[in-house]
Structure 1
């Protein structure tokens, strides 16, 4: 099941992971992303600065799937 996460503005992938309480810090987000454990719309994403759009699906190994809602 995909969990919707509402954001108030444009957001980068690393910020989103922290906002959604998937990670506790930007440093944890960076490691998780660069380790290849995060997908955006089904594609592994290793750029922590990737800008997310409304309706993007963020998949995190071990944490689940999240829908970006703006």
Structure 2
């Protein structure tokens, strides 16, 4: 599990995937979200600009990111 500290109130899903090192580019992150490869708090979510906040869990290709 990766713990990711968010600066501010939230981070958009695409930026989180890139900042956590789970994808190389924003384009790759957009495609992953579009094809349902990302789980947000246990549910597949297709929103690219989803506001991920402290306490949320994001799972991508077997890696979980806990936002703190």
TM over 0.5: yes
Unaligned segments of structure 2, at least 5 residues: none
Alpha-carbon distance between aligned partners in 1 of 2:53 and 2:23, rounded to the nearest angstrom: 20
TM-score by length of 1: 0.88
Aligned length: 67
TM-score by length of 2: 0.91
Q: Which residue of 2 is the match for residue 6 of structure 1?
A: 5
Alpha-carbon distance between aligned partners in 1 of 2:43 and 2:25, rounded to the nearest angstrom: 23
Spell out structure 1 runs of 4+ moving beyond 3 A.
none
Q: CA RMSD in A?
A: 1.0
Unaligned segments of structure 1, at least 5 residues: none
